[in-house]
Amino acid sequence: MSKRILLEVAYDGTNYHGWQLQPNASSIEAVLNEHLSALLKEDIKVIGASRTDAGVHAKGNIAVFDTNARIPAEKISYALNQRLPEDIVIRQSREVDPDFHPRRQKSVKHYSYQIWHDRFPMPIGQNYMLFLYIPLDIDKMQQAASYLIGEHDFTSFCSIHTEVVDKVRTILSITVEEQDSVLKIDVTGTGFLYNMVRIIAGTLLEVGKGTYPPEHLKEILEARDRALAGPTVPAKGLTLVSYSFERM
């Protein structure tokens, strides 16, 4: 009898072209499909919650798949981790309802963008942080972030290549904190557009540099014009920290 298995997946995205299957390129989805199919001796196709971009990392992305295998759900993580490359780890596996679909459930997602903010770069952890030596006003960045909290049309903060028509999303919280030269921009929300977090981070950095005042974020939002927001910062600083679902 078929059952649906949920995986909590952590990965270093440095060597992958994102989550989603790509022609002639390695992806997290492709690696999971390959090793699950070999382990369970079935043709397995996972469904991911977040299709993270090339170079983006995850501590807690979610995937589900269906299987007829008799191996207990909680044991799949142990068996699969013995086969996977070191930069992909299954943090847990468990059975969920047969109709559970990670992209059709109400959820809260937590992303973190990290910057090494010092005079010189740090070789340890450089695959996970953007390096900036320019002075930044952290207080003004936090003030600017407050304008983005709530339900808004985030057209100004998504890639022009975004295909979705409805660009209204809800951000629950944004924090900007620096400790021991590590600047973290943490964003929690119920849904995100293509490149949205990386553009938010790039825009807040422009405020920190003094390019424009914090209150200008309100004007950028209302303009619904991508050209007015800051740059899309590099993917390597972004990590999908966690997912939480209303129903599992």
Tokens coding 176: 């900007």
| pLDDT on residue 225 | 95
| pLDDT on residue 44 | 96
Q: How far is CA 77 from CA 43, 71, 72, 137, 150, in A?
A: 18, 11, 10, 44, 37
* Euclidean distance between CA atoms 81 and 78, whole angstroms: 5
- In the residue annotation, 53 being an active-site residue is answered as yes
Mean pLDDT computed over 182-195: 96
SS (H, E, C) the chain: CCEEEEEEEEECHHHCCCCCCECCECCHHHHHHHHHHHHHCCCCCCEECCCCCCCCEEEEEEEEEEECCCCCHHHHHHHHHCCCCCCEEEEEEEEECCCCCCCCCCEEEEEEEEEEECCCCCCCCCCCCEEECCCCCHHHHHHHHHCCCEEEECHHHCCCCCCCCCCEEEEEEEEEEEECCEEEEEEEECCCCCCHHHHHHHHHHHHHHCCCCCCHHHHHHHHCCHHHCCCCCCHHHEEEEEEEECCC
The catalytic residue among 53, 99, 137, 153 is: 53
| pLDDT on residue 247 | 59
For 71-128, how does the pLDDT look when each residue is reduced to its tens digit (9 = 90+)? 999 999 999 999 999 999 999 999 999 999 988 888 999 999 999 999 999 999 999 9
The end-to-end CA distance of the chain, in Å, is 20
**pLDDT band at residue 175, thresholds of 50, 70 and 90?**
very high
For 54-82, how does the pLDDT look when each residue is reduced to its tens digit (9 = 90+)? 999 999 999 999 999 999 999 999 999 99
User: Domains in the chain, start-ordered, CATH in brackets?
Assistant: 3-96 (3.30.70.580), 108-245 (3.30.70.660)
Positive or negative CA dihedral for 30, 58, 241, 139? negative
Do 159 and 229 contact (CB within 8 A), yes or no?
A: no
